[in-house]
Amino acid sequence: MGMTGAMVKLRIDGQQVAVLAGSSVAAAIAHVGGTTRTSCTGMRRAPLCGMGVCFECRATVNGIAQERTCLLPVAEAMEISTHG
């Protein structure tokens, strides 16, 4: 018996995407092939620990900078920027 989960629509770096409700923002970013931030040396970074300890998953979410995206569930109409 197949079950379809509810989808949530949000924007990542201006691109509208739909992901399963209950997903983390970090998972949504990974789903579109993105990374979460750029280091001070210019390298693209992505989540490492998945539990908010490493801080590699930081991005701007709804205008709030440095949010740990692995700890945030997606929400309808959420705006995510991985570029600062």
- Asked if pLDDT for residue 2 goes beyond 80, the answer is no
So what's the pLDDT on residue 4? 64
Euclidean distance between CA atoms 2 and 53, whole angstroms: 35
So what's the pLDDT on residue 59? 94
- Tell me the pairing of strands 7-12 and 79-81: parallel
* pTM of the complete model: 0.86
So what's the pLDDT on residue 1? 47
What is the mean pLDDT of the segment spanning 1-21?
Answer: 87
What is the mean pLDDT of the segment spanning 1-10?
Answer: 77
Please tell me whether residue 32 adopts helix, strand or coil conformation.
Answer: coil
**25-79 pLDDT tens trace:** 999 999 998 888 888 898 888 888 889 899 999 999 999 999 999 999 999 999 9
